[in-house]
Amino acid sequence: MSVFGKIMSAIFGSAHGAAPAPQPSAPGSSPTSSPSSSPASSPASSPATAPSSMPQVDVEAVLTKLAAQNTEKLDWRKSIVDLMKLLNLDSSLAARRELADELHYTGDKNDSATMNIWLHKQVMQKLAENGGKVPDELRK
């Protein structure tokens, strides 16, 4: 599984313990999923349809809940390393470089500070693109 896939799985899987964000529906729209579809199905299975076929996952609420349960003070809102630690994922430089490759980082991977800032923003943006409710301030 990709590093980003592990991040999504950790957050979206933890969402079962947190309340989903309300999802706005367009007036006059009808559900497109069949009655046998389950919102508990894998969120990564169909990223393009995740926002319309599943309740939107409140990423901030999930991560805040995980942080409250963690004994270590982690600044997941700003640090990709702390975000990965919070999710019990490998946060080593090698893992972050692998994530950078997955997300098509074109900068200098030896400049880890710049890469880390970029990674955090990209991860939040990609979570939003894949059915996560992510506040604007976390994507900028």
pLDDT tens for each residue of 10-28? 999 876 554 444 444 444 4
Closest of 63, 69, 28 to residue 133, by C-alpha: 63
Q: Give 80-124 pLDDT, tens digit per residue.
A: 999 999 999 999 999 999 999 999 999 999 999 999 999 999 999
pLDDT score, position 46: 43
Q: Give 39-65 pLDDT, tens digit per residue.
A: 444 444 444 444 445 678 999 999 999
Distance, CA of 107 to CA of 135 (rounded, Å): 26
pTM listed for this prediction: 0.73
Sign (positive/negative) of CA torsion 105, 107, 111, 113?
negative
